[in-house]
Structure 1
């Protein structure tokens, strides 16, 4: 007697599911999507709905396979068209992600915000930017929490406003070229003085006057409106201006910050680095200095062609020194920054960043 094999008919198994949930009319509705496709759809990168939805079906619970009732769909959405309802849930619903994915997303966005803050701010005393590790430490001190629903740039501007209340930090000025007719010079000069703008240079060309100045970014819109009303022209030469010359970041910046921290925070920060860490930093410093001196001598004699490291954006000597450079802590440190899409550091900045990293390891980790 033969036996028949009974198999389920019309059963569709969902794998690699990303759930988008929407609560409406006191009921919960869910749709099953492919991972990494929901954000692409919302940013208008992906336009094929079939590449986003695993099924044009509205569920009450995706994990249990419970379908939403038709009467509930009509009561909440006013229609029972599954595709249109899926589109609304896809646009307005909340994407459910796992804990580790959420933590990774927050950590990445926290680093992005810190990078934007670093690029847009300077130390008012040295006119130079803080390192990324200093900015992160300050963000920890004000207990900043990432909001995944807001853009990184908007949150970075909020962080800058909060930091300015307690720490020596300010927005780096913009450099602009303003061209106006000569008869409007007096009114423009009065406004620049009122805005505390720094005039870099003036140049006259016929009846037109060109002024290069630096001012706070918050005044840009008002300045643009004034120039337009004066039948002039406004050009942005640099969004963020830092002090010219060799950028040198030392522990002075960190001590200056520590002096403005609450007493408990300042006392909890380690005053001295461990002896082993200090010795390694000194050895790295001596090695970098020898490498710089030897490179300078070879340039003066004109005997050896200088090799440039594309990662560190610096000349590091002849072929042998070029190979040794790839084994140095300087190059390894910049290589790590390059993987995070951060700009390279000079030898001095590298030393300061390493010292700050060692100091930071003794601080309590920031938890989201």
Structure 2
């Protein structure tokens, strides 16, 4: 009985690896790493190199097990010390990921960028931020593509500048406290007027004047330099200022409360969405009166339900939920009393079904 002859192979097969690739002097160099360890190493979480590299060997092709030539290493890196070269490739190289993994990373980063944009911007007319779903729609409208090699914050600022060219959106102001000597306040006041900064409060304490103001983030560096020159100091009270109750509850009326069996509006143009968002906050009486409490209208119940807190509480009531179910059936809304009567009648009918006559 003949035995199977096992032929040796001159390649080291590596499977289930994360490949980091660096191209230098027109030559490709690769190293084999453990999955999920490269990012940990680059962020400083992982300190042990042996936990990152499967082998301290430089390849020209990891998947085929082809080692890099010594003369190529010397020409590209100036040395053939594989440990040092591995560290350089690990630091500067590009991590190769699978298609689905890359898609997942891009989707996650897209969401992160949209979140940063939402936190840093407001609707200039309502002074409220747009919702995260609205920001994502606007980003799709301008055909934004995520760059995985750039930080989310940097890309978010680029998105804001691009959105400002097409849609009603602006950076939310910063709230600062500026403390300067009294004799230098006139110079500061002139600059604040030039920057269109709004003064929230002013307080005189001895020989110093403290001013709380709100201004565009783009003027922050200039303001900081000016205050230092005026022998004062600057304190950041809020990086992004929104109107109280900033994330307007009614923004979610047609999205969050709709039963999952019903299709959400997906083809509505972005500008129509923006106009609808603008109209959902109303003020009772004269909106220019000082000290006036803004009243909010629920479009589902067709009723004014009070201030922001009462407005949020209203969305948890049976009245709103019942009218929302009627809205999905294209039925007119009911008042609170009519709603209670209708619900009681429905309960009675449900009870009768449990009995047979």
Same fold (TM over 0.5): yes
1:93 aligned partner: 93
Equivalent pair of 1:38/1:90 in contact (CA under 8 Å) = yes
Q: Deviations over 1:166-188 (max 9, x none)?
A: 11000000111111111111111
| CA distance in structure 1 between the partners assigned to 2:198 and 2:108 by the alignment | 37
Q: Is 2:62 the partner of 1:50?
A: no
Trace 1:150-165 onto structure 2 (pairs within 5 A).
150-165=150-165
In structure 2, stretches of 5+ residues that fail to align are 255-266, 275-297, 325-357
Q: Secondary structure at the match of 2:224?
A: helix
Quickly say closer, same or farther: Cα 1:270–1:209, change in 2 above 3 A.
closer
Equivalent pair of 1:128/1:243 in contact (CA under 8 Å) = yes
Q: Secondary structure at the match of 1:204?
A: strand
2:181 aligned partner: 181
Equivalent pair of 2:176/2:234 in contact (CA under 8 Å) = yes
Q: Secondary structure at the match of 1:210?
A: strand
Equivalent pair of 2:109/2:146 in contact (CA under 8 Å) = yes
CA RMSD for the aligned pairs?
3.7
Flag the structure with higher helix content.
1
Q: Secondary structure at the match of 1:243?
A: coil
Q: Secondary structure at the match of 2:144?
A: coil
Q: Secondary structure at the match of 1:211?
A: strand
2:283 aligned partner: none
Quickly say closer, same or farther: Cα 1:157–1:267, change in 2 above 3 A.
closer
TM-score by length of 2: 0.69
1:8 offset after TM fit, Å?
Answer: 6.1
Q: Secondary structure at the match of 2:237?
A: strand
Trace 1:1-368 onto structure 2 (pairs within 5 A).
14-245=14-245, 247-248=247-248, 266=269
Q: Deviations over 1:56-104 (max 9, x none)?
A: 1111111111111222222222221111111111112111111101111
In structure 1, stretches of 5+ residues that fail to align are 255-263, 272-282, 297-312, 331-368
Q: Which has the higher contact order (CA 8 A, sep 6+)?
A: 1
Quickly say closer, same or farther: Cα 1:209–1:94, change in 2 above 3 A.
same
| CA distance in structure 1 between the partners assigned to 2:313 and 2:144 by the alignment | 35
| CA distance in structure 2 between the partners assigned to 1:70 and 1:177 by the alignment | 61
TM-score by length of 1: 0.67
Q: Aligned residue pairs: how many?
A: 279
Quickly say closer, same or farther: Cα 1:217–1:73, change in 2 above 3 A.
same
